[in-house]
């Protein structure tokens, strides 16, 4: 029994502040609650003991009226970006509870509530995310409580930092390979299936499991969540309509995101089918022996990715890693890619010009996500403007090309002069801050 549970079972009086804390904490029992008190985030009871140990900070005590003293550990609010990544890397879920009113004008205890739950699989922090590595949250669903080798597995994955959201179905025998391929930081499972899935993946998954109530994996519930989010009548336009088991998993992902993220998720604009028949499935043993992304010693240096990676942007690095983890089967796709590479090899002037321009791009995917979810600052909006200004230069560099793939890239690049002008206007505003924008004025409405 936790310290908080022990105290709640006793008929004792506690301070109003601790009563408020316990009321909030009761909603997040398996999560470390960072409770904002003035200029500090404080943790109490078992959370304090865990936090002090993980972060290496002082564990002390706080008076709690007739209830005695309670363990306490905290840090300054401005150090959140330093300490939060350490908690996440230790596999902890963290609920951030903020003061919702100015203490100067509060009548009684300051109103507080959780504004966000951050988990290893759901994070926007640059200090948690790796530049050339996707950070996936995944969900696994079995259609029956009795799992057999012939079962179809429903699988969904999302990287909230890049808005990539996919759904798939495959046989149970391919589950380990898919987990190794996507390498999720966190997997959502039904409470019903937790022990079975944990046993199946014991040698393949080193992240954390999050157990959800069984009803959350209901197909009808998941379908409704998805069409409501995408504001459509059906999912046919996304090509995932027939993935019943996969949609149940995708619904669980959407439910989890809505529960943990108190801001909008409008940056996730589509869901796509991940068809395993389009790729060569590399089993863990093959990937390990070929040292594709990890060497025998568990390092990146000396691997195939390390040798091949000359990408100029984080987005390119993530895409290259995906390509070598999931090699294409389609002869047409392979030929199209090789033709583009061959043309760039021969036309060094174009290649060098493209390379030079690409070095001026930042992590555009994650930058746009930050802005759309109101997590950015003015400096990052200025960075977006600089990135978008390079699009026209990039389009101009890809000229007189013959390969189909390069032509598609050229035609797909649209200079966004109007948007760049809008950003210039916002940046020129005297009291410009992202957080001060109303929903109707948010950059999400013109990105």
pLDDT tens figures, 374-428: 888 888 888 999 999 999 999 999 988 999 999 999 999 998 999 888 888 877 6
Indicate if the pLDDT at residue 441 is higher than 60.
Answer: no
DSSP 321-345: HHHHHS-B--HHHHHHHHHHHHHHH
Percent of the chain surpassing pLDDT 90:
66
Report CA dihedral (253, 256, 257, 259) to the nearest 10 degrees.
Answer: 160
Q: Which pLDDT band holds residue 5 (cuts at 50, 70, 90)?
A: low
Q: What is the mean pLDDT of residues 285-303?
A: 88
DSSP 236-275: GGGT-TT-HHHHHHHHHHHHHHHHHB-S--TT----EE--
Give the residue, 366 or 297, on which the prediction is more confident.
Answer: 366
Question: Which residue, among 157, 158, 152, has the nearest Cα to 245 in the 3D structure?
Answer: 152
Q: What is the mean pLDDT of residues 99-104?
A: 85
pLDDT in tens, 201-216: 998 898 999 999 999 9
For residue 211, the surrounding DSSP H or E stretch is strand 208-212
Q: What is the mean pLDDT of residues 356-360?
A: 95
The per-residue pLDDT for 127 is 84
Instruction: Evaluate whether 47 touches 92 at the Cβ level (below 8 Å).
Output: no
Name the one residue in this structure whose structure tokens are 């300051």. 110
Indicate if the pLDDT at residue 180 is higher than 50.
Answer: yes
> What are the structural domains of the chain?
3-118 (3.40.1170.10), 137-278 (3.30.420.110), 281-323 (no CATH), 330-445 (1.10.1420.10)
Q: Which pLDDT band holds residue 65 (cuts at 50, 70, 90)?
A: low
The per-residue pLDDT for 428 is 66
Instruction: Evaluate whether 166 touches 178 at the Cβ level (below 8 Å).
Output: no
Q: Which pLDDT band holds residue 255 (cuts at 50, 70, 90)?
A: very high
Indicate if the pLDDT at residue 299 is higher than 50.
Answer: yes
Indicate if the pLDDT at residue 64 is higher than 70.
Answer: no
Tokens of 3: 């310290």
Give the residue, 189 or 434, on which the prediction is more confident.
Answer: 189
Question: Which residue, among 221, 204, 203, has the nearest Cα to 212 in the 3D structure?
Answer: 221
The per-residue pLDDT for 68 is 63
The 10 Å CB-count burial string (b at 16+, else e) for 215-242 is ebbebebbbebbeebbeeeebeebebee
Cα–Cα distance, 414 to 417 (Å, whole number): 9
Give the bridge partners for 168, in sequence order. 155
Instruction: Evaluate whether 399 touches 409 at the Cβ level (below 8 Å).
Output: no
Helix, coil or strand: residue 371: helix
What are the two backbone dihedrals, phi and then psi, of residue 263, each rounded to the nearest 5 degrees?
-95, 175
The per-residue pLDDT for 7 is 52
Helix, strand, coil fractions of the chain, as percent rounded to 5: 45, 15, 35
**Which segment, 14-23, 101-110, 175-184, 216-225, is predicted with the most confidence on average?**
216-225
Indicate if the pLDDT at residue 70 is higher than 80.
Answer: yes
Percent of the chain surpassing pLDDT 70:
91
The per-residue pLDDT for 379 is 86
Alpha helices for 125-263 (secondary structure H): 175-182, 194-200, 219-230, 244-260
Q: Which pLDDT band holds residue 142 (cuts at 50, 70, 90)?
A: very high
Q: What is the mean pLDDT of residues 265-290?
A: 90
Sequence-separated (6 or more) residues with CB below 8 Å from residue 115: 96, 97, 98, 262
The per-residue pLDDT for 445 is 34
Name the one residue in this structure whose structure tokens are 């990105």. 447
Averaged confidence pLDDT in the chain: 88
Q: Which pLDDT band holds residue 436 (cuts at 50, 70, 90)?
A: very low
Cα–Cα distance, 46 to 96 (Å, whole number): 16
Q: Which pLDDT band holds residue 12 (cuts at 50, 70, 90)?
A: low
Cα–Cα distance, 398 to 347 (Å, whole number): 11
The per-residue pLDDT for 377 is 81
pLDDT in tens, 146-178: 887 788 999 999 999 999 999 999 999 899 999
DSSP 32: E
CA distances from 38 to 77, 293, 431 (A): 8, 45, 25
Cα–Cα distance, 330 to 235 (Å, whole number): 26
pLDDT in tens, 314-335: 999 999 999 999 999 999 999 9
Q: What is the mean pLDDT of residues 275-304?
A: 88
Instruction: Evaluate whether 95 touches 43 at the Cβ level (below 8 Å).
Output: no
CA distances from 92 to 32, 71, 86, 115 (A): 7, 19, 9, 17
The per-residue pLDDT for 9 is 43
pTM value? 0.86
CA distances from 183 to 41, 45, 342, 417 (A): 32, 33, 32, 38
Instruction: Evaluate whether 127 touches 116 at the Cβ level (below 8 Å).
Output: no
Q: What is the mean pLDDT of residues 267-293?
A: 90
Indicate if the pLDDT at residue 262 is higher than 60.
Answer: yes
Cα–Cα distance, 248 to 141 (Å, whole number): 7
Count CA atoms closer than 13 A to 416's CA, side-chain side.
17
DSSP 436: G
């Amino acid at each position: 029994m936790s310290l908080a549970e022990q105290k709640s079972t006793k008929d004792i009086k506690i301070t109003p502040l601790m009563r408020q804390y316990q009321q909030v904490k009761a909603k997040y029992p398996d999560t470390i609650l960072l409770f904002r008190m003035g200029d500090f985030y404080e943790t109490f009871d078992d959370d304090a003991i865990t936090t002090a140990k993980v972060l290496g900070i002082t564990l002390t005590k706080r008076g709690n009226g007739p209830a005695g003293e309670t363990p306490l550990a905290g840090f300054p609010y401005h150090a959140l970006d330093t300490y939060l990544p350490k908690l996440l890397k230790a596999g902890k879920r963290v609920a951030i509870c903020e003061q919702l009113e100015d203490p100067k004008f509060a009548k009684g205890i300051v109103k507080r509530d959780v504004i966000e739950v951050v988990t290893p699989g759901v994070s926007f922090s640059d200090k948690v995310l790796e530049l050339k590595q996707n950070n996936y949250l995944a969900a696994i669903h079995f259609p029956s409580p009795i799992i057999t080798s012939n079962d179809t597995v429903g699988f969904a994955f999302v990287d909230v930092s890049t808005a990539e959201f996919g759904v798939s179905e495959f046989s149970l025998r391919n589950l380990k390979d898919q987990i190794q391929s996507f390498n999720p930081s966190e997997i959502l499972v039904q409470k019903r299936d937790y022990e079975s899935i944990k046993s199946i993946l014991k040698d393949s998954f080193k992240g954390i499991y999050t157990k959800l109530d069984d009803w959350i994996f209901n197909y009808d519930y998941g379908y409704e969540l998805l069409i409501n989010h995408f504001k459509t009548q059906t999912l046919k336009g996304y090509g995932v309509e027939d993935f019943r088991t996969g949609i149940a998993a995708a619904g669980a992902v959407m439910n989890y995101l809505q529960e943990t993220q108190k801001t909008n998720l409008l940056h996730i604009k589509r869901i796509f089918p991940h068809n395993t028949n389009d790729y060569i499935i590399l089993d863990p043993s093959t990937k390990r022996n070929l040292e594709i992304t990890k060497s025998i010693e568990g390092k990146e240096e000396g691997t195939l990715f390390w040798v091949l990676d000359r990408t100029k942007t984080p987005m390119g690095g993530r895409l290259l890693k995906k390509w070598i983890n999931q090699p294409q089967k389609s002869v047409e796709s392979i030929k199209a890619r090789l033709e583009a590479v061959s043309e760039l090899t021969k036309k060094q002037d174009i290649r060098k010009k493209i390379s030079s321009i690409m070095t001026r791009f930042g992590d555009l995917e994650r930058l746009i996500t930050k802005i759309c979810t109101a997590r950015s600052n003015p400096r990052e909006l200025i960075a977006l403007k600089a990135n978008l200004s390079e699009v026209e230069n990039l389009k101009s560099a890809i000229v007189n090309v013959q390969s189909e793939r390069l032509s598609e890239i050229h035609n797909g690049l649209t200079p966004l002069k109007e948007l760049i002008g809008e950003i210039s206007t916002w940046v020129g505003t005297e009291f410009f801050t992202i957080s001060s924008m109303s929903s109707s004025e948010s950059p999400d409405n013109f990105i």
